[in-house]
Structure 1
Amino acid sequence: MNKRELVEAVASSTDLSAAAAERAIEALAEAITDALAKGDKVAIPGFGTFETRSRAARTGRNPQTGETLEIAASTSAAFKPATKLKQAVNGGK
């Protein structure tokens, strides 16, 4: 499903116009992004939790040359699905 299909699905299930549904989806994505940038978690019951995870600095290897290189520490966005979402994806199991 791409963004256009998502907008159409939200618009049809909420009786919003496509433009209003698109604004709502963009506002949701922006709110989640802003919260994660501040280091906050975003929990949506029945769907899942968005959070940040820290990765420590480590030594890596270039697969083509075998050269050792340092990979800097970083923070990444992560999503942990709720049990309800896991069950839906697994056919209700």
Structure 2
Amino acid sequence: MTKADIAEHIQASTGLSKKESAEMMEAVFSIMKSTLESGETLKISGFGSFIVKQKADRRGRNPQTGESIIIDARKVLTFKPSMVLRQAINGTAE
């Protein structure tokens, strides 16, 4: 599914124009992006949580040369689905 597909679904369910639906979707994605950029957790009830985690420096190895290297610290984004979403995906929704 693409952003265009999502905008079409929004249009079909709300009756808004295609342009308004796309603008609404972009606004929601913008809010989500800025929230995650600031390091906050984004929790959407019934869907799941997006969590920004900090990874420390760690020792790694170049597989071609076998040389030991240090992998820099970085932030990673993880997603933990809600129980409702898990059940829906597995077909066990009540």
Q: With structure 1 as the length reference, what TM-score do the two structures score?
A: 0.88
Structure 1 gaps of 5+ residues are none
Structure 1 counterpart of 2:53, which letter? R
- Give the equivalent residue in structure 1 for 2:46: 46
* Equivalent position of 1:86 in the other structure: 86
Question: Could you tell me which amino acid in structure 2 is paired with residue 34 of structure 1?
Answer: S
Q: Following superposition, which runs of at least 4 residues in structure 1 exceed 3 angstroms of deviation?
A: none
Equivalent residue for 1:35?
Answer: 35
Over the matched positions of the two proteins, sequence identity in percent amounts to 39
Distance 1:11 1:92 in 2: 29
1:67 maps to what in 2? 67
Q: How many residues align?
A: 93
Higher mean C-alpha deviation, range 23-32 or range 60-69: 60-69
Say which SS state the counterpart of residue 52 (structure 1) adopts.
strand
Match of 2:14 in 1: 14
Q: What is the alpha-carbon distance in structure 1 between the residues aligned to residue 48 and residue 63 of structure 2?
A: 35
Instruction: Report the Cα distance in structure 2 between the residues aligned to 1:92 and 1:22, rounded to whole angstroms.
Output: 32
- 1:30-86 CA-to-partner distances (Å, cap 9, x unmatched) read 111111122211211101111211111101112222222110111122211111111
Name the counterpart of 1:3. 3
Query: Aligned-pair distance for 1:88?
Result: 0.9
Consecutive unaligned residues of structure 2, counting only runs of 5 or more, are none
Instruction: Please report the RMSD computed on the Cα atoms of aligned residues, expressed in angstroms.
Output: 1.4
